[in-house]
Structure 1
Amino acid sequence: MTVRSNSIPKIFRKGSKSGVSGRCYGCQGTGMKITTRQIGLGMIQQMQHPDTITGDIVFVLQLKEHPKFKRKFDDLYVEHTLNLTEALCGFQFALTHLDGRQLLIKSNPGEIIKPGQSKAINDEGMPHHQRPFMRGRLYIHFNVEFPDSGIISPEQCQTLETVLPPRASKHLTDMELDDCEETTLHDVNIEDEMRRKKQQQQFQEAYDDEDDEPSMPRVQCAQQ
């Protein structure tokens, strides 16, 4: 809370030894002193004295980050992770709102949620400015967690293929396979890879800078 008071008169003392006007140490000649204090509501009433010229009280609000919800203007954003079964076969869960209410979130029958897909709930965001009875939207961003490798057996894969859409890639013939070079896919963390590439680039640039520096002539010992 910032308390501003303009009751300090402007003071300019002239005639100093240096010839420069001196200023009040409290307000620096502006006539206003700004201080920051934590005060209670009862102290605000005590400050309103009829014989005292009071200044303005300015409240500075700071938005505290929430561990789950993110605010953008009048809308709220939240992330939720589904497993593959929930994304394909349906889901329902309870979401605790900021005011403690439990919102039932569920998918429509036959609806499939894709990774990175978002859904919106009307009137569950923050109140509009100067229109507290109108609220923004609540956006839910869905992440889909896939099972680890090796959990699904080859027999189960064949069963899944009977209910899932057919594969997009065409079946290669033996002649086409003979013309292809076989490769191996490796697991990789793209963030670690980019960090490693950046370190290598910085090291290479530093090494190149050392090579570009002009070499100093060698000093030979004088022969006796």
Structure 2
Amino acid sequence: MFFGGHPFGGGMPGGMGGSGHGGGPPRGDVDTTKLYETLEVDKSASKKDIRKAYMKLSRTHHPDKGGDEHKFKEISAAYEILSDDDKRAQYDKYGLEGVSGDDVGAAGGEDLFSMFFGGGGRSRRGASSGPRKGPSVNHPLKVSLEDLYNGKTVKLAVNRKVIQGTPTECTRCKGQGAILEVRQLGPGMITQMQRTCDACNGQAQQCQYKSERKVLEVHVEKGMREGDRITFSGMSDEVPKMEPGDINFIIQEKDHDLFKRKGADLLVVKEVSLNQALCGFSWKIQHLDGRELVIKSRPGEVIKPEMNTKEALPFVKMLPDEGMPSKGNPFVRGNLYVMFRVKFPEDNELPTEVVEAIRKLLPEPDVPEEYDPMEVEEVHLNPADLRLFGKGGAHVSSNEAHDEDEDGGARPVQCQQS
């Protein structure tokens, strides 16, 4: 399968259901005795009688004891249904159709009819399994955040294999799809190994193919997310005796220079100076639909380094309904979050006159401590990394640590004189 061109070159970088019978009366042609006959009990049997019959029959027909495997599966499936009050009530009303949607052991709801009726029950219901489906093709589709916000439809050329003429039975494997090879290991010793037929690739049919070019209109919905699929049913390569598989385009969201996305919400990071954090700021951005927004702080609003919470969380503000549209309902949008980072002046960056002016203007200035410099030691702080907290001082090696006694003191060192 080959794909032509790149549709998003522009932009910024960046099982069956339940029975469905309701409470109606049972159909007249429904068999509601087969499971009881399998366990060799009456329909009026108690749960204790049903369990007793199951234990007896399972021991007799267990494959490990030489019993029939199919019969053992029938017994197990019958017991699983009749030992459950709800499933038994459904079966007594509607037969196997009443429990075919339930998860019944390894048999599964789809296999109940073929297990007990050899497939006749399923055909009686008119539910044919139909042909198998061929393999699907998944193709990653890188999409910009702008296109996921606004939606976009592009045309994409696809080359697929189409069967030409009528398939014929593979002559090498005689329509089996596999070849049985017999090898002699030694005198009187042989081994049989089954492998996929290389002439038909296990399809049991041989045919000629031709290449067909199709142009697909790929519609990216507003609000689609990473991993969403755009499916074209039956557009994959044709395979003998199978329905063609699907072509799935898997959305891969490109990174964006400004916006970060989570669900339907967007996040931008804004760095402000200390002056802007205290006196106000204005910031113009271009949204994903091309609109220009000017984000301004309110008069007197202060941007803080962190939120007033127990945890040290960044200071965040929010603009409602300016996030991503919701898939399937694009009129409902997420929110736009702005996370602030306050940039403080570097050491020795502020002149003395500026410091004095700020001290006069800002509330709660520092009150100098009264002390005698001749008697009190003055100290200054150095830059530090909190990740190194607890690693200061002289470290005791593991060998020295073992020399300490249980009280924490060092063991006396004995000197030996020769």
Q: For the superposition of Structure 1 and Structure 2, which TM-score range results when normalised by the shorter chain?
A: 0.5 to 0.7
Once residues 123 and 24 of structure 1 are traced to their aligned partners in structure 2, the CA distance between those partners, rounded to angstroms, is 59
Gapped regions of structure 1 (runs ≥ 5):
32-39, 198-203, 210-224
Once residues 94 and 114 of structure 1 are traced to their aligned partners in structure 2, the CA distance between those partners, rounded to angstroms, is 21
Aligned-residue offset at 1:208: 6.5
Is the 1:16–1:22 contact (alpha carbons within 8 Å) kept by the matching residues of 2? no
Aligned-residue offset at 1:113: 0.9
Aligned-residue offset at 1:182: 2.6
Aligned-residue offset at 1:179: 6.6
Instruction: Provide, for residues 147-206 of structure 1, a one-character-per-residue CA deviation record: whole Å limited to 9, x for no partner.
Output: 233343333322212221113x6542226x777543232235x39x75xx8xxxxxx9xx
Corresponding residue number in structure 2 for 1:84: 274
Once residues 143 and 166 of structure 1 are traced to their aligned partners in structure 2, the CA distance between those partners, rounded to angstroms, is 23
Once residues 184 and 95 of structure 1 are traced to their aligned partners in structure 2, the CA distance between those partners, rounded to angstroms, is 42
Q: Where does 1:41-56 land on structure 2 (aligned, <5 Å)? A: 42=215, 53-56=243-246
Q: Find 1:124's aligned residue among 322, 326, 330.
A: 322
Equivalences, count: 188
Q: Which residue identity does 2:352 align to in structure 1?
A: P
Corresponding residue number in structure 1 for 2:359: 161
Once residues 135 and 186 of structure 1 are traced to their aligned partners in structure 2, the CA distance between those partners, rounded to angstroms, is 48
Q: Find 2:193's aligned residue among 10, 17, 20.
A: 20
Corresponding residue number in structure 2 for 1:73: 263
The yes-or-no answer on 1:183 pairing with 2:401 is: no
Gapped regions of structure 2 (runs ≥ 5):
4-135, 139-160, 168-174, 184-190, 205-212, 218-231, 306-313, 400-418
Other structure's SS at 1:87 match: helix
TM-score normalized with structure 1 length = 0.64
Is the 2:137–2:236 contact (alpha carbons within 8 Å) kept by the matching residues of 1? no
Instruction: Provide, for residues 90-123 of structure 1, a one-character-per-residue CA deviation record: whole Å limited to 9, x for no partner.
Output: 1111112223221110010111111242111111
Once residues 269 and 290 of structure 2 are traced to their aligned partners in structure 1, the CA distance between those partners, rounded to angstroms, is 18
TM-score normalized with structure 2 length = 0.37
Is the 1:114–1:144 contact (alpha carbons within 8 Å) kept by the matching residues of 2? yes
Is the 2:236–2:246 contact (alpha carbons within 8 Å) kept by the matching residues of 1? no
Once residues 85 and 71 of structure 1 are traced to their aligned partners in structure 2, the CA distance between those partners, rounded to angstroms, is 29
Other structure's SS at 1:19 match: strand
Is the 2:237–2:245 contact (alpha carbons within 8 Å) kept by the matching residues of 1? no
Aligned-residue offset at 1:60: 1.5
The yes-or-no answer on 1:149 pairing with 2:322 is: no
Note closer, same or farther for the CA distance 1:134–1:156 as it changes in structure 2 (3 Å cut). Answer: same
Corresponding residue number in structure 2 for 1:217: none
Runs of 4+ residues deviating >4 angstroms: 7-10, 24-31, 47-50, 177-180
Once residues 179 and 13 of structure 1 are traced to their aligned partners in structure 2, the CA distance between those partners, rounded to angstroms, is 99
Other structure's SS at 2:348 match: coil
Note closer, same or farther for the CA distance 1:90–1:180 as it changes in structure 2 (3 Å cut). Answer: same
Q: Which residue identity does 1:174 align to in structure 2?
A: Y
Once residues 375 and 201 of structure 2 are traced to their aligned partners in structure 1, the CA distance between those partners, rounded to angstroms, is 85
Note closer, same or farther for the CA distance 1:136–1:48 as it changes in structure 2 (3 Å cut). Answer: same
Deviates more, 1:140-149 or 1:178-187: 178-187
Note closer, same or farther for the CA distance 1:80–1:14 as it changes in structure 2 (3 Å cut). Answer: same
Once residues 30 and 70 of structure 1 are traced to their aligned partners in structure 2, the CA distance between those partners, rounded to angstroms, is 47
Aligned-residue offset at 1:27: 9.5
Other structure's SS at 1:14 match: strand
Corresponding residue number in structure 1 for 2:369: 172
Indicate the RMSD between aligned Cα atoms, in angstroms: 4.3
Q: Which residue identity does 2:371 align to in structure 1?
A: D
Identity of aligned residues (%): 34
Other structure's SS at 2:284 match: strand
Aligned-residue offset at 1:83: 1.3
Note closer, same or farther for the CA distance 1:29–1:150 as it changes in structure 2 (3 Å cut). Answer: same
